[in-house]
Amino acid sequence: MALYRTQAIVLRHCNMGEADRIITLLSREYGKIRAVARGVKRPRNRLIGGTQIFTYSEFLIFEGKNLDNISQCEIKESFFKIRDDLEKLTYASYMAELINEFLPEREKNEEVFFLFLKTLHWILKGNDIELIARFFEMKLLLLIGLLPYMESCVYCGGSLEEGEIYFNASMGGAVCSRCFRMGQESMQIERGTLKLMRSLAVIKFEQLALIKTSLNLKQELERVMRSYITYHLEKKLKSLEFLNKVKNKTMT
Ligand SMILES: [Zn+2]
């Protein structure tokens, strides 16, 4: 049976039988893959460390008839400090779920791999985690070809430099005041929110700290992104419910 080696980050795992787990990996070489970690729920199993959520490891995998099997893994970065912090864990879980939902299996996307790896580093550093989440969403949408249209009205192509601005998930982006009634559920947004969206789509991680924004705009952007992502996935993400709980806790 063929063996292959790959660098990958653990996106999720689920139990299979008494001792095994199916691990979903975001790999650099093969995109999203699923493989079984045999005996990983038994104490002192050699695959325990490398198959923890968000752990970045080098994996040796052999192909199976149905599912592949993890033969070895060597930890490159454990990111255990993310798992130890409820807020960081919750946000990283949300991002992992986004990747898992949006990426098809076995389709190489090295850029998404590096986006997630870098995002985990930035979460560790403890910067503005809300803004990191929005940045991540925007970059992920860009990399999978689903970036919302923000340059002009998505419906008529008219300028958005004057007048009220709306956002419509089903239309695919920003809409002008003449067209917003064409689609259901247009939401009016601040000019600052549109600017923030445009910036997040083009800046690099290192420039994130330079972004000046307000709580108001960040909250509005969150609503915009939620509506857009939910529209495209056609479902609510499981991790969002938990994320909301954690947020409410930290706000009170
Ligand atoms: Zn228009």
Query: pLDDT at position 251, please?
Result: 62
- Same domain, yes or no: 17 and 131: no
Using the 3D structure, point to which of 18, 51, 78 is the last residue of a domain.
78
In a domain, 223, yes or no: yes
Instruction: Look at residue 252 in the predicted model and tell me its pLDDT.
Output: 56
Domain annotation covers residue 190: yes
Question: Which residue's entry shows tokens 């798992």?
Answer: 83
Q: How far apart are CA 54 and CA 110, in angstroms?
A: 17
71 and 21 fall within a common domain? yes
Contact of 91 with 119, CB cutoff 8 Å: no
First-residue to last-residue Cα distance in the chain: 55
Please identify every stretch of the chain with a pLDDT value under 50, giving residue numbers as ranges. Answer: none
Q: Verify that 218 and 138 share a domain, yes or no.
A: yes
CA of 188 to the centre of ligand 1 (A): 13
Residue 190 Cα to ligand 1 midpoint, Å, equals: 16
**Full domain range(s) for residue 244:** 81-149+165-251
Domain boundary among 78, 93, 116: 78
The pLDDT mean for the chain works out to 94
Same domain assignment for residues 28 and 88: no
Among residues 21, 53, 78, which one ends one of the domains? Answer: 78
Q: How far apart are the CA of 155 and the centre of ligand 1, in A?
A: 5
Residues 174-213 pLDDT 10s? 999 999 988 788 999 999 999 999 999 999 999 998 998 9
Residue 234 sits in the same domain as residue 178: yes
CA distance 186 to 155: 12
Q: How far, in Å, is the centroid of ligand 1 from the Cα of 156?
A: 4
Residue 113 inside a domain? The answer is yes
Angle 197-224-163 from CA coordinates, rounded to 5°: 70
What spacing in Å lies between the alpha carbon of 172 and ligand 1's midpoint? 12
* Same domain? 12 vs 89: no
Contacts of 98 (CB under 8 A, 6+ apart): 136, 137, 140, 229, 237
Q: Could you tell me if 193 and 98 lie in one domain?
A: yes
Q: In whole angstroms, give the CA distance from residue 94 to residue 86.
A: 12
> Could you give the CA distance from residue 40 to residue 51 in angstroms, rounded to a whole number?
8
List the CATH number of the domain containing 41: 2.40.50.140
186 CB-near residues (< 8 Å, 6+ apart): 166, 167, 168, 171, 175, 180
Same domain, 128 and 178: yes
Residues 119 and 189 in one domain: yes
Cα 38 to Cα 4: distance, rounded to the nearest angstrom: 17
CA 180–ligand 1 middle distance (angstroms): 7
Q: Are residues 49 and 90 in the same domain?
A: no
The pLDDT value given to residue 115: 98
The domain total for the chain is 2
- pLDDT for 245: 86
